[in-house]
Structure 1
Amino acid sequence: MTATTFRRALAYEWIKFRSVRSLVWTTVVAAALPVPGAAFVAATGSLKTDDTVLGGSLTFSVPAMMLAAVLGALLVCGEYGSGTIRVTLAAVPRRGTVLAAKATLVAALLYALALPATTAAYLVGGAMLGEEYAPGEPMPALLGVAAAFSVAGLLGLAVGTLLRHSAGAITAVLALLLLPSMLGPLLGDAERWVAGVSPTAALEKLIQTSDATADAVGSLPAWPSLVLVTGYTTLALLAATALLHRRDV
């Protein structure tokens, strides 16, 4: 993969992204959700007494991260649904380069949007909540939160490439985000291990919410949890790349 070929593939992906309304609007909503979410949580007084400003302000970062994962899935499944994937692979025959360009676009875009969005949400929450709650430790946690958005998008991209069907990929990636924490309580002592592998669990640890107890999201600290999620997302992307090379389209 030469640098010129990769830059061309990345330029193609950016043009396609801007031309698909569903991708643009999914991105806009994901980026916009944390700030009004912080205002809503502060205005309704729904925080627990042991929660932090950071945890309360970023409550809506969880559904926003789910939208980031949906974006990753739609980025590739939309092309399979419309048949334009054939045009993409004709323009850039190196399939690994195509997937690398998609991954670079979704990871960079989500990080660039999530960091200011979650930072603004923290500032809004802090201004509205005052000194009644502990502020939490926003740095470097906010950097990790933005990275979690990128990882969720990449996980969606990997699942979308593997399944190639929008509805199936969206269902599967949302299940990966939600089911571990939902099934954990049914598994007794194994709850902390099952729930802890979810990207949602890593995010909750990073935002230091009072709900991120060891029993609910595992005893692994926030940054190692993010590394774990990043690791199996990388494996999923490698599997997607191998499958993309093997099948006809």
Structure 2
Amino acid sequence: MAVLPVPGAAFVAATGSLQPEDTVLGGALTLAVPALALAAVTGVLVISGEYGSGTIATTLTAVPRRGTVLAAKVALVAGVLFLAALASATCAYLVGDAMLAEDRPQGEPWPALLGVAALFPVAGLLGLAVGTLLRHAAGALTTVVALLLLPSMLGPLFGPAERWVAGASPTAALEKLTQSADADAQAVGSLGAWPSLALVAGYTLLALGGAATALRRRDV
């Protein structure tokens, strides 16, 4: 996840594949979308790995307070992903800024890079919630990747409702934060970048609440 954006920025700059209206920030973070998907996958694996190996039973025996177990995983996923994403996104922007033409619009990297970095732990926590609810790695991975990618892919099928379907996805929030030229209101909704981040964080918190309830009520 942390490695993808920097070589992606160098590749985009070297190939000159950006459109004239693309900003340096948007071009430098071209590979932030697959990196975001990997952040969600990381969140899934934090919990599904224990279910797959059976060590979750040992964990819950050692720490009977199941809310504490989940809270510890939340803190770990959020902290690690935020720091990794902030370093990666900042380096990618600096590489893009150094390699792209000086006459290209820069975009507004600050505080946008902080928002981008915050979105990665949100995606990771969404993955953690889905992994806790489903417990099966393959099913959880499929579900969380679909939640990230399908709204923007299938949005055009919903006609006038495209902006609502695609605009609620984490990838739409990412495109707005990176000020991508593809982030037009028709495709990703009229919400601003920060309200979009707040929306994604809101339903991620709801998913975590559901995951915590399920973890407390079932045997394992």
Task: Give the number of the structure with larger relative contact order, counting CA–CA contacts within 8 Å between residues 6 or more apart.
Answer: 2
Aligned to 1:82: 53
- TM-superposed CA distance for 1:90, in Å, is 1.0
- Structure 2: any 5+ residue segments left out of the alignment? none
Question: How far apart are the structure 1 equivalents of 2:2 and 2:152?
Answer: 24
State the aligned residue count.
220
Does residue 1:164 correspond to 2:135, yes or no? yes
Question: How far apart are the structure 1 equivalents of 2:151 and 2:36?
Answer: 16
Question: How far apart are the structure 2 equivalents of 1:247 and 1:40?
Answer: 48
Aligned to 2:33: 62
Question: How far apart are the structure 1 equivalents of 2:153 and 2:25?
Answer: 24
Aligned to 1:25: none
Partner deviation per Cα, 1:145-178 (whole Å, 9 max, x = no partner): 0000010000000000000011000000000001
Matching of residues 141-220 of structure 1 within 5 Å: 141-220=112-191
- TM-superposed CA distance for 1:182, in Å, is 1.1
After the TM superposition, list the runs of 4 or more consecutive aligned residues in structure 1 that deviate by more than 6 angstroms: none
TM-score by length of 1: 0.88
Aligned to 2:206: 235
Q: Percent identity?
A: 73
2:11 partner amino acid? F
Question: How far apart are the structure 1 equivalents of 2:197 and 2:71?
Answer: 21
TM-score by length of 2: 0.99
Does residue 1:128 correspond to 2:99, yes or no? yes
Question: How far apart are the structure 1 equivalents of 2:131 and 2:188?
Answer: 26
Partner deviation per Cα, 1:65-124 (whole Å, 9 max, x = no partner): 100000000100000000000111111110000000001000000001110110000000
- Structure 1: any 5+ residue segments left out of the alignment? 1-29
